[in-house]
Structure 1
Amino acid sequence: MTRTEIEEKVREFLIDDLEIDEEKIVPEGKLKDDLGIDSLDFVDIVVIIERKFGFKIKPEEMAGVVTLRQFCDYIESKVGE
């Protein structure tokens, strides 16, 4: 899966499943501060990632992930394994 495909899938579920405004979805957008993703949303994200990308998110691996770009980097590192 290419980086573009990952970013498109992430963008798609942020808009469709979490109802985040499309204009807020930018690489440097902060997941909590800019996109408004809270702990309940994160539970949904875990399920969505497992379904769309085929791996489980480990909370400890997400500790340093702040921006959308870092989130896509994380997914890319896992999909490539």
Structure 2
Amino acid sequence: MTKDECRKLVIDIISDIAPDEDVTAVKPDVRLRDQLQLDSMDFLDIVMELRKRHGIEVPEADYMQLASLDSCAEYLTPKFQAKA
């Protein structure tokens, strides 16, 4: 999976858990919580969906790695590649 695919995957998850959010203009290098109305429960939902849909485990110590779309892609791409 490429970094662009990882970004799209995260956007798809956010669209599902926060359907009222406009994700079309999300800047990849800005913290998601600074751009969207996501609270801590929404963030946990993102982590849970990564595990449920894709089998990707994100330890609590790594949550800060998922702050922006770019950081999500940096963190998740090697995890997806390791699964392939």
Deviations 1:11-33 (CA, angstroms, capped at 9, x unpaired): 21212322221234221231211
**Which structure is higher in RCO with an 8 Å CA cutoff and minimum separation 6?**
2
Deviates more, 1:18-27 or 1:54-63: 18-27
Number of matched residues? 81
Tell me if structure 1 keeps the 8 A contact 2:65–2:75: no
Find the aligned partners of 1:4 and 1:39 in 2 and give their Cα distance: 25
Letter in 2 for 1:39: S
SS in 1 for 2:51: helix
Find the aligned partners of 2:24 and 2:77 in 1 and give their Cα distance: 23
CA gap of 1:63–1:2, structure 2 versus 1, over 3 A, is closer
Letter in 2 for 1:32: R
| Cα RMSD for the two superposed structures | 1.9
Q: Which residue of 1 aligns with 2:2?
A: 2
Q: Which residue of 2 aligns with 1:22?
A: 23
Q: Which runs of 5+ in 2 are unaligned?
A: none
SS in 2 for 1:42: helix
Tell me if structure 2 keeps the 8 A contact 1:15–1:22: yes
Q: Which runs of 5+ in 1 are unaligned?
A: none
Q: Where do 1:39-78 residues align within 5 Å?
A: 39-78=40-79
Q: CA deviation at 1:64?
A: 4.8
SS in 2 for 1:56: coil
Greater helix proportion: 2
TM-score scaled by structure 1? 0.77
TM-score scaled by structure 2? 0.75
